[in-house]
Amino acid sequence: MNSFGRILRLTTFGESHGEAIGGVLDGYPAGILIDEEFVRRQMQRRRPGQSAVTTARNEADEVHFLSGIFEGRSTGTPIAFIIQNTNNRSADYGNLREAFRPSHADYVYEQKYGVRDYRGGGRSSARETAVRVAAGALAMLALRASGIEIAAYTSQVGDIMLDKDYKAYNLASAEENIVRCPDAEAALRMQQLILDVKREGDTVGGVVSCVIKGAPVGLGEPLYDKLSARLAQAMLSINAAKGFEYGNGFAAAVGRGSQQNDILCNRDGRIAALTNNSGGIQGGISNGEDIYFRVAFKPVATILTEQPTVTREGRPTVIAARGRHDPCVVPRAVPVVEAMAALVILDFLRIERGNQSCK
């Protein structure tokens, strides 16, 4: 499917090397002041060609709104927008016309549809995530009215990882370096690792962590539309995402209930938890604490070194990708994770509050 969400629903279209990509965001609340400069800044954080650790493809990624905004505010009608593709080099992908890249969507797309756009991966390309970031920026603007803020950051690249709780870091400082890590020393080591891997014609994976502050109690629907399940769906729909965990995640399988349980208390007249091992979600519903989760990304499948593969007819061959590709997707995935989180949270707010403005 090419649509995501229940009340707030995003439909995206376009391919990596087509004329443009774009989306329609339906169910967006009326009366929200649309800060187009904020949208532009979010797009700049995701756009290709922004640093030495990203693909050299240089796209401006300017968002052109077509509907749903009047005199600077949302009207409550569908917001449609497009983003032009201006720097694609389709000739770089000529050697992929007949051969499949290992661990890429090439083979399964052709088997499913009987045809595939081999130029940059077509619809399977991470180029589509630019549309998500644009829509997510709009969602963030609406969430601000409810006092909800979302911040993601790089917490691991390869075997280099942060070993402290997110509260130990100034998450805003993640934007001070090109890998988007809030630990300056670790960021330098991550950057060097990515550059080393890039020189080798290889790729490396990592982890993006995300924190949602200010979410009210009660977001999430039992039993099959839990907040945790929707967040997992959103994150695992991102290209190269391989794993999702929230709160203590898989580490919770090790301890005992007496160690993992979040004890409730009265905090300044409201019920709160002394700890947050649950990651802000219990029974699939937000509990008013910080919501935090992690998303694991694999190394990008398209590498510049030779690999054995097969052709469309099944004949053995050797392939080495050409063109411009990310040696590590993680730094550019940070704003994508934030965007998908914002879409999920705003969707649940719309479910809770109906068609009223989210102010």
State pLDDT tens for residues 223-274.
999 999 999 999 999 999 999 999 999 999 998 999 999 999 999 999 999 9
pLDDT for the residue numbered 84: 94
pLDDT digits over 205-218, tens only?
999 999 999 999 99
pLDDT for the residue numbered 356: 45
pLDDT for the residue numbered 125: 86
Tokens of 219: 């977001």
User: What does the DSSP 8-state code read for residue 225?
Assistant: B
pLDDT over 50 (residue 355): no
Which residue reads 């709104």 in tokens? 65
The pLDDT mean for the chain works out to 92
Tokens of 103: 């661990």
- Amino acid code (one letter) for 175: E
pLDDT over 90 (residue 152): yes
Domains delineated in the chain: 3-353 (3.60.150.10)
pLDDT digits over 38-68, tens only?
999 999 999 887 888 887 667 789 999 999 9
What's the pTM? 0.93
pLDDT for the residue numbered 93: 67
Length of the chain: 359
Q: Where are the alpha helices (DSSP H) in the chain?
A: 36-46, 106-113, 129-144, 184-199, 227-236, 257-260, 330-353
pLDDT digits over 90-122, tens only?
666 667 788 898 888 889 989 999 888 877 677
- Amino acid code (one letter) for 174: A
Tokens of 191: 């950057």
